[in-house]
Amino acid sequence: MSLQKGNVQRTRPQKHRNHTVFKNSLHDTSNRTKLINSIQVSDVCMRCKDIIDWKIKYKKYKPLSQPKTCVKCGQKSVKQAYHVMCSDCSKKLGVCTKCCQKKEIVPGPPTKNEQIKLDNEMKALLQSLPERRRRTFLRYMDKLAKQKKQEGDELKDKDSEKNDLMDKLKELKISEDDDDDDFDDSEDGQSSNSDNDEKQD
């Protein structure tokens, strides 16, 4: 019996379950899909970014064949699909290029120079950490990389990954400054960082 009437609370587990995360490039290795997968959605609010990212992930994304007219300046300056406003207007007004609302906007990818600067900053921070913290960080980096791999996101979001890493570094740096007396670091092994405790396979 598959369905008991009125029984909303399911007692048995779902029969058919995906064993792996959906990956749009599993059976499709075309350049078009690769290209679309590498798009970094920016100049939009978080909500619109999610919507467009969803389209990319589930292969609903249709790139523009030619620039669209911006709703603000009337120029053919909209280069990203699903955006209705050009980046320039969006920056001037501080609004999302898709829903045109004044919200927090996801910035575009950093320039080469910014990337180099960030890399150097990260290296310096890492160097300044004590050995134990450094290992915590490397473990975190590993975990993040594995996660990305599982989600099939290796190509994409290199920058957001870097931001995550940077945040983690800063966090370690800050906690380093104020936890000297809180616990004894002399013993290795059991990390007291709760976010490293979850087991993943």
Sort 62 into a burial class: Cβ within 10 Å, 0-12 / 13-18 / 19+. Answer: exposed
Binding to Zn ion by CB under 5 A, coded x per residue (else -) over 40-59, reads -----x--x-----------
Locus of tokens 């791999």: 149
Find the part of the chain contacting Zn ion (CB under 5 A) among 14-22, 93-101, 151-159, 185-193. Answer: 93-101
Nearest distance from residue 159's CB to Zn ion, in Å?
20
Pick between residue 85 and residue 172 the one whose CB is nearest to Zn ion: 85
Rg of the chain, C-alpha, whole Å: 22
Nearer to Zn ion, 101 or 175 (CB): 101
Which CB atom, from 75 or from 163, has the smaller least distance to Zn ion? 75
Crossing angle between the packed helical segments 112-128 and 158-178, to the nearest 10 degrees: 30
- Alpha helix segments (H runs only) across 76-130: 87-93, 112-128
Interface with Zn ion, residue 72, by CB under 5 A? yes
Closer by beta carbon to Zn ion, 41 or else 48: 48
Residues with Cβ within 8 Å of residue 119, at least 6 apart in sequence: none
How far does Cα 175 stand from its chain's mean position? 24
Q: Which tokens belong to 33?
A: 């899909």
Query: Does 89 interact with Zn ion (rule: CB under 5 A)?
Result: yes
Which position among 83, 98, 133, 148 is part of the footprint of Zn ion (CB under 5 A)? 98
Nearer to Zn ion, 72 or 148 (CB): 72
Q: Is 96 in the site for Zn ion (CB under 5 A)?
A: yes
Told to check if 73 binds Zn ion by CB under 5 A, we report yes
- Rounded alpha-carbon distances, angstroms, from residue 82 to 89, 95, 98: 16, 15, 6
Taking CB under 5 A as the rule, does residue 99 contact Zn ion? yes
* Positions that interact with Zn ion (CB under 5 A): 45, 48, 70, 72-73, 86, 89, 96, 98-99
